[in-house]
Amino acid sequence: MIKLKTFSHKSLLFALCVIGSACSSIEEADKEDILNTTKLFTENYFNYYFDEASQHTTPESKLFLMWRASNVNELEISTYNTSQNVATLDMNKLSYEKVNDTTAIIHCVVLNSIQRDNLDSTPYVSKQTNYALQLTKRNKKWLIKMEGPLQSVK
């Protein structure tokens, strides 16, 4: 006769707590990585450090960064240089949703960014601009995934 081991309710409860705490710490680590990637990307991107911004994007996003960098004009740089503030991410106005284990969407507000309504328009400083950024997890690292030039959202 085969004897099966039985687990007490306390053992089962302990095991569930350990599993639950491991899952929540993984979730917290993902959240921290997502927020850190978003901060590093946005503050480099909106301050015209496109090479640094590209370190936080997927390889296929680099095409859109190169396009953006090649379309910066002198008036835009002049507006940026005369602005009293650098562009920053408002850490108090972030929200994110993890779509699945490898995809997340972060809704964020960038303060003091230089904006143009189109390539021919006059640049201006926007006190705050809303964005929805897609992130994807590759090789255990969260990266911004651009599917086109960044556009603000309402």
Whole-number pLDDT of residue 10? 53
Reference 144, options 83, 79, 53; nearest CA is: 53
**d(C-alpha 109, C-alpha 93), whole Å:** 6
As a whole number, mean pLDDT of residues 66-77 equals 93
Q: Are 90 and 111 in contact (CB under 8 A)?
A: yes
As a whole number, mean pLDDT of residues 61-79 equals 94
Q: Above 90 in pLDDT, residue 141?
A: yes
pLDDT digits (tens, 9 = 90+) for 16-61: 444 444 333 447 888 899 999 999 999 999 999 999 999 999 999 9
CATH of 14-144, one of 3.40.50.1100, 3.10.450.50, 3.40.50.720, 3.50.30.30: 3.10.450.50
Helical residues (DSSP H) of the chain, grouped into ranges: 9-45, 50-54, 62-70, 74-82
pTM for the model: 0.80
Rounded to 5°, the CA angle 89-95-96 comes to 110
Q: How far is CA 10 from CA 5, 15, 17, 22, 23, in A?
A: 14, 9, 10, 18, 20
Q: Above 80 in pLDDT, residue 3?
A: no
Whole-number pLDDT of residue 135? 96
Query: Which pLDDT band, with edges at 50, 70 and 90, does 2 fall under?
Result: low
Whole-number pLDDT of residue 45? 96
**SS3 annotation, 26-41:** HHHHHHHHHHHHHHHH
